[in-house]
Structure 1
């Protein structure tokens, strides 16, 4: 392979201490990145001081209003694309790559890759789906089996495992992928922007491979439970619905958000209450307006 350049895109908001540890991990890479683009979503803590001190990295800082993880990754990928880098590696501020993580990924000649996450004790916590089902209308959750549900530990994994969705915590894509499918959709704000991007990549014929020996250490407990009656619940419902409306492989799957809305409303006296019912109704109404990819996320021209 020819020598390829790579830009790392990091999105952060008010987690300066985690960001500092993450940047330490980048600085320790055996393969130095060509650029580190940090998108600061209007942090109010000492994030600015942490970034100003990193004279050891090829740092490019973008400060913007808090547009969520989706808006941050959209801005960062667009900046990396406009700068002409061959690959872009997306990371949140709460992960730390092992020193050879970037070198290991760059050695794999594939368009879409993910590093494999573990917790601070070394336990496998990679939640990327080995099966993401947008065909079966009876599958309430499209994410079926995951890497850490199929494999007991990293040692039991093959060197490469094909996955169907990703988290923007260690996902790497080549420039040609962005040219063909576009950018992460900023309209998602949080949740499912990474899953939707993976669906687009796979629909364009790209495999997504989890690279066993590319180690990414998650600094926080992996807690996917959220209050569905709170503000995050609105985005979880809405963006899940958008993925089904955009990418459902048959009519019944595309109708599933309506069924979920009905069931949640009917069961709201027993669980979730009026707040969750309001969230899911608002989510369904908003998702209908997002059935098509937003203009900002479309391929560059």
Structure 2
């Protein structure tokens, strides 16, 4: 529902950052320029070793609450910590934000004006091209869907101008995702066990299965400062988490036994093809990922709904 959202609602921004102080500074500039000022900005600094502390220490123009962790908890661990802090502080809505995006001045105001429980800002790149990858269809029912993300906002719409005011989506990125505390009360917190990747997908599936709909808000503009390029690193350390956490989503949320078997099939195919693709490192990653995913079938204890 568009129009005036509840005027009395409070909102905390949760920002997770790690060794990207210059990008963080630009993102904080974007928050400071919001026409609807956030009531708190909770920054989780994942043990950065660059000049992140100096950047944060200089910000007297924002209501910052900074937590510096002893170790790098990953994006998932950082968002878990930040969302729990926002929930415990009693905020009505929580706006999740990465350090490599900059919200346009009216972004938060556009989101807060929509009276829905789960919303996302719509991302564009530095040229203004639409790059919103949230899935309009995320298929966990068909065993033939190799990739569950079947269509995305930017594959359906040529540009922002061709979008309706609201577009229903089935997954989110924790870049510009706005959620009400009532959702957290029902489905829990981001799961820190993911470390990076798919923690946002897992949360979105939990929210949708609790009856919440998720809407992309056309007029909430979020600008990505970097390109999407992580999906090409399947042989590196990120590849382990990409495989493992994709498998966890299937094992937790697959709608039938065949879908829950897909991780095993993917593992087999990657291993069999590795001699042809020169991908021994990728094969090792996928085998380790499958072994680890089996132990993460259930939501971790710390991510469960508050009691």
Smaller-chain TM-score bracket: over 0.9
Q: CA deviation at 1:156?
A: 0.1
Q: CA deviation at 1:226?
A: 2.6
Matched, 1:56 2:61: yes
The residue that corresponds to 1:88 in the other structure is 94
Matched, 1:100 2:106: yes
Helix, strand or coil: the match of 1:126? coil
The residue that corresponds to 2:237 in the other structure is 231
The residue that corresponds to 2:227 in the other structure is 221
Matched, 1:40 2:45: yes
Aligned-partner Cα distance in 1 for 2:210–2:298? 16
Helix, strand or coil: the match of 2:77? helix
Structure 2: segments with no counterpart, 5+ residues: 1-5
The residue that corresponds to 1:257 in the other structure is 263
Aligned-partner Cα distance in 1 for 2:64–2:7? 24
Matched, 1:276 2:282: yes
- TM-score (ref. length: structure 2): 0.97
Equivalent of residue 33 in structure 2, options 22, 28, 32 = 28
CA displacement, residues 172-197 of structure 1 (integer Å, 9 cap, x when unaligned): 10000000000000000001000111
Instruction: Give me the CA root mean square deviation.
Output: 0.7
- TM-score (ref. length: structure 1): 0.99
Q: CA deviation at 1:289?
A: 0.2
Matched, 1:71 2:77: yes
Aligned-partner Cα distance in 2 for 1:122–1:30? 21
Q: Which runs of 4+ in 1 moved over 4 A?
A: none
Helix, strand or coil: the match of 1:9? strand
The residue that corresponds to 2:3 in the other structure is none
Contact 1:114–1:166 (CA under 8 A) maintained in structure 2: yes
Number of residue-to-residue matches in the alignment:
301
Helix, strand or coil: the match of 1:167? coil
Q: CA deviation at 1:222?
A: 2.3
CA displacement, residues 27-81 of structure 1 (integer Å, 9 cap, x when unaligned): 0001110000000001000000000000110000011110100000000000000
Structure 1: segments with no counterpart, 5+ residues: none
Q: CA deviation at 1:9?
A: 0.3
Helix, strand or coil: the match of 2:120? strand
Helix, strand or coil: the match of 2:151? coil
The residue that corresponds to 1:293 in the other structure is 299
Q: CA deviation at 1:227?
A: 1.7
